[in-house]
Homo-oligomer: A and B are copies of this chain.
Amino acid sequence: MEKVNLAQKFDHIPDYWNPRIAGELNGQQVKLAKFKGAFEWHHHEHEDEFFLVVKGKFEMHLRDKVIELKPGEFLIVPRGVEHKPVANEEAEVLMFEPAGTVNTGNLENSERTRTNLERL
């Protein structure tokens, strides 16, 4: 059992929109990713997603509003809700979600789809 230092882990992430697994518990995973630019509109049929900004900021676009998230702020996006993260500058984000959740949700074969995630 060892602690995880988020800043140290983010230092080892060279790319964007590529979540890595930083921990597992109760069938859920803790994932870390850097965001920059605009992601794609998608939703997750069966998974709620938690996003906590560690550094930087990003906007979560929803069909009816935009929520800006800064360090120390989190948002839970319920299953079924369409969303599109947009980061005008680099953001470091911690996510919690069920193991096996695919980053692009219903867009299973997007260029940005990542499966077989690395472990940090």
Contact = CB atoms under 8 A, between A and B. Distances in A.
Contacts of A78: 1, 25
A98 B52 CA distance: 18
Contacts of A3: 67, 69, 73-75
Q: How many copies does the complex hold?
A: 2
Nearest to A51: B3
What is the interface residue range for chain A against chain B?
20 to 34
* A-side interface mostly: strand
A120 B25 CA distance: 24
B73 A25 contact: no
Nearest to A10: B72
A35 interface: no
Most chain B beta-carbon neighbours within 10 Å: one of A30, A47, A62, A77? A30
Interface of A: 1-7, 23-26, 28, 30, 47-50, 52, 54, 62, 67, 69, 72-78, 81, 94, 96-98
